[in-house]
Structure 1
Amino acid sequence: MSRNAVLFAVMCLVWGLTWLPVKVGGTHVPPVFLAAVRFTIAGVLMLFWAGRDMPKVPAGAWPRLVGTALLLNTANYTLLFWGTAHAPTGLAAIVNFATIPIFTLLASRAIEKEPVDGRKLAAIGLGTIGLGFLFATRALGGLSAVQGDPQEAIGLAAVAAGTLFYCTGAVLSRPIAGTMPTLTLAGWQTLIGGIGLSAVSLAVERVGSADFAALAQWPVLPCVAFLVIGGSLMGFTIYMRLLRDWGAFRAGLYAFVSPAVAVGVGVAVLEEPFGLSEAIGAALMFGAATIALKRPAPRGG
C-alpha cells in the first residue's frame, strides 16, 4: 500500500471520528462556544505554521477573505456544531459530506453561472430524495424521534444549511485562492471564522466561567485537542498533500468513507438509531454525490 493510500485512510478515519467529540463536547459546553475555541486555536496554529507566508495576503483580497471566512467557518460551523448537538452524529455526517458536491453545483450555478446539465440535475434530484428519506422518520415522529432529541430534524436541517453556506464560501474563495499560499488563506479564514464564532457565541449562548474551566477538564479537553490537532491540522495537511498528488476527484472520495465511520461510531458508542429509512436515504445521497463528482467523459473531435 502506498504512503498516500495510508494517509487517505488516516484522513477518512480522523474526519469520521471528529463528529464524536463535536457531539460529546457540545453536551458539556455550549456548542458554538466549542466551535469558537476549536477554530480560534487552529487558526493561530495554522498561521504560526505558515511562518513567513502569514502576511502574504494581497490588499485587495482582504474583503473577500473576510467574507468567505464568515461563510465557510462562522456561519457553517455555528449551524453544524449546534445541529450535531441535537442530531445523531452519523446522520449529521451524511448530510454534511454527501451534500457538499450537490450544494457546490448549486452555488457554482448561482455565482459563476456554471451550466447545469442532465447529469447534474440528476444528482440534485436524487440527493433531494435522499434527504427526504433521512428526514422522514423524524418528520413523521417515528421511533428515532421518540428515542432521541425532539429537535433532531431541526438539527439535521441546520447541518444542511451550514453546508450550503460552506459551499457558497468555497466557490467565492476561488478567485483569491491562487493569490496567496494555501496555508495562509486557510489560516486566516480559520482564525477570522473563529473570531466570528466567538461573537456569535457571546450573542446567543450563556457562556460562563464554568464553561472556560471545562475546557481544561475531561471530557472537553480531549475533544478540543482532537478537533484541533486531528480534524483541523492533521486532516487539512493530509488533504492538501492528496489534492496535490491525486487531484480533487480522488482526494474528495473521503466524502464516501468518513460518514460510514461516523455512523459506526455513533451506533456503537452513542447507541444512536439508524433504521431502514436512514439507510435508503444514505444510499441515495451517496449515489447523488457519486454522480456529482463524476468527471465528464472527454469529447471526441
Structure 2
Amino acid sequence: MTKVQNMMLFGVLAVVWGSGFTAIEIGLDSLPPLLFGALRFDIAALVFFGLVVASRAQWLPRTRDDVGLVLTTGILLIGVHFALLFLGQSYVTSGVAAIVLSFTPIVTPALALKLLPAERVRAMDVLGLLVGFAGVIAIATAGGSFGGRLIGVVLLLAAAVAFALGSVLTQRLSRTLPLVSLQAWSMLVGAATLHATSHLHPLESVSGVDWTASALAAILYLGIVCTVGGFLLYFMLLDRIGATNSNLISYATPIVAAVFGMAVLGEPITGTMVLGFALIVVGFALCKIRPLWKLTRTVQRSRQTPPVPGTATVRVHGNDYSRTYHGTSSPPHTRAEHPIADD
C-alpha cells in the first residue's frame, strides 16, 4: 500500500507541475511575463504565511544561515529562475519550456564541482552534461530557425542554470527555521524580486494589463495549486522516497506538460522535441548512473528476497539491521543493509 501511495503522490505531483506550464501559457496571452510571475508568488506567500500562523511555527529567521537561505531561495530559486522562465516561455510552447528546464539536474553537478569542496568531477558527469546540452541545442535549432524560438530556449536554459546554482548554494547552509516559514519568506522575497524586475522592464506596464477571467484563473491555479500544493507534495514525497527518486519528477513533468499543451492548447509534439528530451534523459542517467544503479539493485533485491517469518528490523543511524533466527541450535546473526545514497 505504501508503494502505491508513493506512486500516486508522484503522479499527482507530475500532473500539478506539468499542467502549470499550460497555465503559464494561458496567462501569458494577456499578462506581462514578469508581473504574471510576481502575482503568482504574491498569492503563494500569503497562503504560506497563513500556514505559518495556523501551525504556530517559528516565523522569524534567527541565524545568518537562515537569512542566507531565505535570500538565496527567494532571489535565485524564485526571483531570477521564474523571471527567466516566464520570459522564455513567452517565445516557445509549454512543452518545449518544460523539456529545456529538465536540463537542471544535469548542470547541477558541474556547478557543485566548483562550489562544493567535497564534490569531484567524473567522466560520466562530463559526458552526461554534453549529451544533455546536445538535446537542448536540438530543440533550440529545430527547423533551422534562429529567431524567437532560440531566444526562448536560451532564456529557459539560463533559468535552469539559475535554479541549479541556487540549489547548490543552499547546500552550503543549514537552517533552524521550519520549512513552512522558510518557504513563506522565500516566496515573499521572490515576489518582491519579480515585482522590482517588472517595474524596471521597459515593456511592462500594469495599466495595460487585460484582466481576463482566464488570466485570473491562471494566477490562482499557479499560486495555490502549483506552488503551494506542489511544494507541499514535493517535500512529502522527498520524506517518503528520498531525493534520488523524487528528482525523477523532472522527467515526468515535461511529458505531462506536452500532453496538456497538445490537449488544451493544440500545441504540436514534434520529433525534434522527443529527440531533445531523450538526449536530456540520457544525459541525466549518465550523470546519475551511480545512484540510479544502486536504486535499481535495491529494488531488485527487495522483489527477489521473500520476507522471513520472525525477522525483526531495527533502524539505527540510517541503517537497517535485521536479526534473523535459524532454529534453537544456531546462534542468531546480524546483517546491515545500507540505505541508498541520495547523491
Superposed pair shares fold, TM > 0.5: yes
Give the match for residue 8 of structure 2. 6
Q: Which amino acid aligns with 1:233?
A: V
Q: Distance in 2 between matches of 1:184 and 1:5?
A: 28
Larger relative contact order (C-alpha < 8 A, sep ≥ 6)? 1
Q: Which amino acid aligns with 1:257?
A: A
The structural deviation recorded for 1:63 is 4.1
The structural deviation recorded for 1:221 is 1.3
Query: TM-score if structure 1 supplies the norm length?
Result: 0.89
Pairing 1:244-259 to 2, within 5 Å after superposition: 244-259=239-254
Give the match for residue 219 of structure 2. 224
188-197 or 113-122, which moves further after superposition? 113-122
Give the match for residue 128 of structure 2. 123
The structural deviation recorded for 1:208 is 2.5
Normalized per residue, which structure has more strand? 2
CA 1:295 to 1:239, structure 2 compared with 1: closer, same or farther past 3 Å? farther
- Aligned residue pairs total 286
Larger radius of gyration: 2
50-59 or 34-43, which moves further after superposition? 50-59
107-116 or 240-249, which moves further after superposition? 107-116
Give the match for residue 108 of structure 2. 104
Give the match for residue 203 of structure 1. 200
Q: Which runs of 5+ in 2 are unaligned?
A: 295-343
CA RMSD of aligned residues (A): 1.9
Normalized per residue, which structure has more helix? 1
CA contact (8 A) 2:63 2:176 kept: no
87-96 or 174-183, which moves further after superposition? 174-183
Deviations 1:166-207 (A, max 9, x none): 111111112334332222222211110110000000110432
Q: Which amino acid aligns with 1:121?
A: V
Task: Establish whether residue 194 from structure 1 lines up as the match of residue 199 from structure 2.
Answer: no
Query: TM-score if structure 2 supplies the norm length?
Result: 0.78
SS in 1 for 2:36: helix
Q: Which amino acid aligns with 1:74?
A: G
Q: Distance in 2 between matches of 1:50 and 1:128?
A: 40
Q: Distance in 1 between matches of 2:168 and 2:77?
A: 10
Task: Establish whether residue 268 from structure 1 lines up as the match of residue 273 from structure 2.
Answer: no
CA 1:269 to 1:106, structure 2 compared with 1: closer, same or farther past 3 Å? same
Pairing 1:1-301 to 2, within 5 Å after superposition: 2-51=4-53, 52-61=56-65, 62-97=67-102, 99-113=103-117, 114-137=119-142, 140-141=144-145, 150-204=147-201, 205-211=203-209, 214=211, 217-296=212-291
The structural deviation recorded for 1:229 is 1.5
Q: Which amino acid aligns with 2:161?
A: L
CA contact (8 A) 1:25 1:223 kept: yes
